């Protein structure tokens, strides 16, 4: 909900209102040149080895991303890291990672990317963190289910499409900071218990002297301390992010009581931003843990208050020209931007299978909690799924904001899918429904007719993805095995895990049946 500028330097020529006429890439595979032995890379490796000596690094932590979007890692002594590791890679068991290999083909390789290193600001032992790409050890080819590789292919596909040269991304991932959380589910009980010193429900507690000053439900945006009790915690997170190389723009309390927060970092290219998003989640959780708090990016941990979304700002550029700007267009957007929005809205049900991929996501995507469930676009309007920010009339700041994703998603997959949907809209000139500038939650009667909503469950969006995924397969960006594995993983693990267990509130509803 912050005001990320997402701007570039001033442009030297007028913005385009229509996409380039180059022939789209179609189903031709997006060729990604990622030589692990180039001169540029060799120079970057030497810089990393020098940094280890300069900073007194003792441990190198190698990180990679599983299919659901969680970082995995292992560590090695810094003295053992040499140029061969960046060239030959490090082996690991791919069969033990969610969404990866079968046990009979478990051997996989990690190739560190020297451009991603940072000295870890949350660990006590001096540790250098590096993000890795995943390769097959036999073919030495990138692994099709490596989420980061999919994101690289999406960027390459954009260039090959002839529509634009670069996409820029600015996610706004919200989260909660609690004092404690307990949860369990077994044969005879199921419960969760959250507590927060800042939670409005503690206004009447008497275990210790009660100082009052708490944000009420939906009133956490933007009271000053002492109502906002977590200013220093967020500031510590912000400083740790900056130390790790993440360019933070703003930190603030969010709408919810009990410590809902948002920290926004500057926009970047697709892979770069997805890397930063996982760094962001890692540092948020660890700074809070070290301070005696617990942070969660779960979309809807509290009933009766706002959930945590991840509004995603995006724009397309050719050189220094923002293709989304047109001074004569509605909300100053171009035909290209409108068609891009058309693609997002047309494919929204399928997109949510990757952008809001948990059962809990659909506790958030409901009316009445600022959730963007309406398949409409609009300027300034936060009740629409696509919003066009109007903070500035500058061509360089024009972008669109897709508001349905949440931070439980894998950012590499989510951003790639959004880009592919938008490009499909541009290629096919998909017109979105006419914009509506009124509060969509308040519309009734004839004014409400024809406005479609997002699906209401994970099962529905998985069905949508199964039927509507051809746009993701363009250019071999997503491959069928990725889609099939994702659907199987969600249908056989996530859905049964919830559907087979009694819900605590069912006892309230049905115990006296």
The pLDDT value given to residue 222: 85
Q: Which residue has the higher pLDDT, 29 or 137?
A: 137
Sign of the dihedral defined by the CA atoms of residues 200, 205, 208, 211, in that order: positive
Instruction: From residue 420, give the alpha-carbon distance in Å to each of 156, 170, 310, 357.
Output: 11, 17, 18, 18
Among 105-114, 365-374, 489-498, the least confident range: 365-374
Quickly state the pLDDT bin for 209 (edges 50, 70, 90): confident
Of the two residues 192 and 41, the one the predictor is more confident about is 192
pLDDT digits (tens, 9 = 90+) for 481-507: 999 999 999 999 999 999 999 999 999
Per-residue pLDDT band at 49 (split at 50, 70, 90): very high
Are 374 and 299 members of one domain? yes
Residues 372 and 487 in one domain: yes
> Does residue 116 have a pLDDT over 50?
yes
Residue 278: pLDDT over 90: yes
Give me the pLDDT at residue 11, please. 33
507: in domain: no
CB-CB neighbours of 248 under 10 Å:
16
What share of the chain has pLDDT > 90, as a percent?
75
Q: Is residue 426 part of a domain?
A: yes
Q: Does residue 415 sit in the same domain as residue 291?
A: yes
247 and 101 within one domain: no
Q: Is residue 160 part of a domain?
A: no
Indicate whether 16 pLDDT > 50.
no
Residues 461 and 379 in one domain: yes
Q: Could you report the per-residue pLDDT of 69-102, keeping only the tens digit for each?
A: 999 999 999 999 999 999 999 999 999 999 898 8
Instruction: Output the pLDDT for position 22.
Output: 38
Q: Determine, yes or no, domain membership for 453.
A: yes
pLDDT band at 151 (very low <50, low <70, confident <90, very high): very high
- 232 in a domain, yes or no? yes
DSSP 78: G
Q: What is the mean pLDDT of the chain?
A: 89
Lowest mean pLDDT among 22-26, 33-37, 218-222: 22-26
Same domain, 72 and 170: no
User: Domain count of the chain?
Assistant: 2
- Residue 20, pLDDT above cutoff 50: no
Domain presence at residue 155: no
User: 166-170, 221-225, 331-335, 353-357 — which is least confidently predicted?
Assistant: 221-225
Structural domain of 421: 166-182+211-500
Asked if 370 and 289 sit in the same domain, the reply is: yes
CATH for 395 = 3.30.590.10
CATH number at residue 131: 3.10.20.70
If DSSP codes are grouped into helix, strand and coil, which group holds residue 90? strand
Pairing of strands 71-77, 310-318: unpaired
Residues annotated as catalytic (active site), given as ranges: 93, 172, 174, 254, 262, 311, 382, 401, 403
State yes or no: cis peptide before 226, omega within 30 of 0. yes
State pLDDT tens for residues 462-475: 999 999 999 999 99
Q: Has residue 148 been placed in a domain? A: no
Residue 47: burial class (beta carbons within 10 Å; 0-12, 13-18, 19+): middle
Q: What is the pLDDT of residue 7?
A: 44
Could you tell me if 344 and 428 lie in one domain? yes
On whether both 72 and 173 belong to a single domain, the answer is no
Rg (CA), the chain: 23
- In a shared domain, residues 72 and 221: no
Q: Are 29 and 141 in contact (CB under 8 A)?
A: no
Same domain, 106 and 226: no
Mark whether 326 and 400 lie in a shared domain.
yes
pLDDT value at 370 more than 90: no
């Amino acid at each position: 909900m912050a005001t990320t500028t997402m701007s570039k330097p001033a442009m030297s020529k007028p913005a385009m209102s229509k996409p380039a006429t180059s022939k789209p890439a179609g189903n031709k595979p997006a060729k990604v040149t990622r030589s692990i032995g180039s001169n540029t890379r060799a120079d970057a490796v030497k810089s990393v080895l020098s940094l280890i000596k300069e900073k007194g690094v003792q441990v190198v932590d190698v990180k990679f991303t599983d299919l659901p979007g969680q970082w995995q890692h292992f560590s090695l002594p810094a003295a053992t890291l040499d140029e061969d590791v960046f060239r030959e890679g490090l082996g690991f068991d791919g069969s033990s990672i969610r969404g990866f290999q079968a046990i009979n083909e478990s051997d996989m390789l990690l190739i560190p990317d020297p451009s991603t290193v940072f000295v870890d600001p949350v660990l006590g032992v001096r540790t250098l963190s590096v993000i890795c790409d995943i390769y097959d050890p036999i073919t030495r080819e990138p692994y099709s289910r490596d989420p980061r590789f999919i994101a690289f292919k999406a960027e390459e596909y954009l260039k090959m499409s002839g529509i634009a040269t670069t996409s820029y991304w600015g996610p706004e991932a919200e989260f909660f900071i609690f004092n404690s959380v307990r949860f369990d589910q077994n044969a005879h009980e199921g419960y969760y218990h959250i507590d927060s010193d800042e939670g409005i429900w503690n206004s009447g507690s008497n275990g210790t002297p009660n100082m009052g000053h708490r944000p009420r439900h939906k009133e956490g945006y933007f009271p000053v301390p002492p109502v906002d009790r977590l200013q220093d915690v967020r500031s510590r997170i912000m400083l740790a992010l900056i130390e790790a190389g993440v360019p933070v723009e703003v930190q603030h309390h969010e709408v919810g009581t009990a410590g809902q927060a948002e920290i926004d970092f500057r926009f970047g290219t697709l892979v770069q931003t997805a890397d930063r998003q996982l760094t962001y989640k890692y540092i948020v959780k660890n700074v809070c843990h070290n301070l005696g708090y617990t942070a969660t990016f779960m979309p809807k941990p509290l009933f009766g208050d706002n959930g945590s979304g991840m509004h995603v700002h995006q724009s397309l550029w050719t050189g220094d020209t923002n293709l989304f700007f047109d001074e004569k267009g509605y909300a100053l957007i171009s035909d290209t931007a409108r068609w891009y929005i058309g693609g997002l809205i047309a494919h929204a049900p399928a997109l949510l299978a990757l952008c809001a991929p948990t059962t809990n996501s659909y506790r958030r995507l409901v009316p009445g909690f600022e959730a963007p469930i309406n398949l409409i676009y609009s300027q300034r309007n936060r009740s629409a799924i696509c919003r066009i920010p109007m903070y500035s009339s500058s061509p360089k700041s024009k972008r669109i904001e897709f508001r349905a994703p949440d931070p439980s998603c894998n950012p590499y997959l989510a951003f790639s899918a959004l880009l592919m949907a938008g490009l499909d809209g541009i290629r096919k000139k998909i017109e979105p429904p006419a914009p509506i500038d009124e509060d969509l939650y308040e519309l009734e009667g004839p004014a409400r007719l024809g406005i479609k909503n997002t699906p209401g469950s994970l099962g529905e969006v998985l069905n949508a993805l199964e039927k509507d995924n051809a746009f993701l397969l363009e250019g071999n960006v997503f491959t069928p095995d990725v889609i099939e594995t994702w659907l199987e993983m969600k249908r056989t693990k996530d859905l049964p895990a919830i559907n087979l267990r009694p819900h605590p509130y069912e006892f309230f509803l049905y115990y006296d049946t």
